[in-house]
Structures are given as C-alpha cells and as structure tokens.
Amino acid sequence: MRLHFGCSDKYPGPIEGWDNLDIKPTDKRIKVCDVTKGLPYPDNSVEAIYSCHTFEHFTRKEASFVIKECWRVLQENGLIKIVVPDLDDIIDIFYDFKNSQKKFVFGKKFINREEFLLFVLSQEGQHKYTYSQRSLTKLLKETGFHPIEQTETNKESRYPIFTSIPDFPNKSLSMVGIKWTN
C-alpha cells in the first residue's frame, strides 16, 4: 500500500494506485482523513508515503505526531518523501528581492520584500511552520528515519516509487527518509 496525504484536488492531485487522503477532499478519489488525529492503517502496512506542501500547515507539535504516525505505519525499509516550501530559498529571495525572478507566488505580485515574506511564511494564516533542510532533517531524524537525503524537486528520483509523481511546480525542499530499524 502507498499513501499520499494532504492530497487535495489540486497539484499534484490524487495519485493513481495510492491511497489519497485529505482533511477536506473535493474529489471522490480522495478519502477524508485528518492525519493530525492519526493514520487509519495498521502498523507496518505501508510501503511508501508522499506528502507535498502539507507539513507547513501543521504546528511543530502536530508535525512531530504525524511523522511518528508515518513511522508506525511504514514497513521496514519504507520510504517517506516530504516536499515543503524551502525556508532557505525564501530567505535568499527576501535578501535579493530586487533581483529575484520569484516575485510572483500563486499569481500574486509583491511590491516589497516584507510583503513577500509575510505572505509566503503565513499564507494568510494557513501556514503554521516553515522548514529548512536542517529543520526537516531534524524532524525526520528525531523519529528514527535514516538515511535522510535531500532530493532535487522536479528531477527524476533515484527512488523509483516516487518517479511518476510530479513535484510542486515552484522550487521546494524535498526530503526522503527511510524507515531503517536494523
């Protein structure tokens, strides 16, 4: 079994052959599930988990719980891929705002770097936490995932299970962790 949560009907939408979950689905191929309350799967029953632009909608405490649930349901050597907005990239854009080509986010044009930063970090109150490579690695490592590696978004993955899934179109932070208990 493969699990995709935080799916929504938007990008990338439901993935064929995966269990697709979202708290407020608008597509009949997506099951209703609030993952901050737990994952409705038995221990060691899931081969892979994919979550794209979901973890930033959780508090750090909620994210820690969700990661522990992912660990619980993943099989030995199971994979988790998390894609989130990249805090380091956001900071780079903030400091080089005048020259940055990324002044448009979700079709919104920003007139100054402060407006850009506040919008991207909070998404009008929807975002509760923002991750850097270091902080997302820490979250995964605290739960026991290893090895953990940053993967390039929108490139072919060395993990075949994820190659058919399109990543978020904007530059994002993409991390893969393995449930390795030996």
The per-residue pLDDT for range 79-89, each reduced to its tens digit, is 999 999 888 77
What percentage of the chain exceeds 90 in pLDDT?
54
Of 3.40.50.150, 3.40.30.10, 3.20.20.140, 1.10.287.3510, which CATH number belongs to 2-85+127-178? 3.40.50.150
Per-residue model confidence as pLDDT tens digits over 124-161: 778 888 899 999 999 999 999 999 999 876 566 688 89
- Strands (E) across 9-161 are located at 19-22, 31-32, 46-52, 74-84, 104-105, 108-109, 148-151
Predicted confidence (pLDDT) at residue 39 exceeds the cutoff of 90: yes
Average pLDDT, the chain: 86
- Domain assignments of the chain as residue spans, ordered by start: 2-85+127-178, 87-126
Q: Which of 43-52, 97-106, 156-165 has the lowest mean pLDDT?
A: 97-106
All residues at 6 or more sequence positions from 2 whose CB lies less than 8 Å from its CB, including other chains:
15, 17, 18, 19, 46, 47, 48, 49, 50, 161
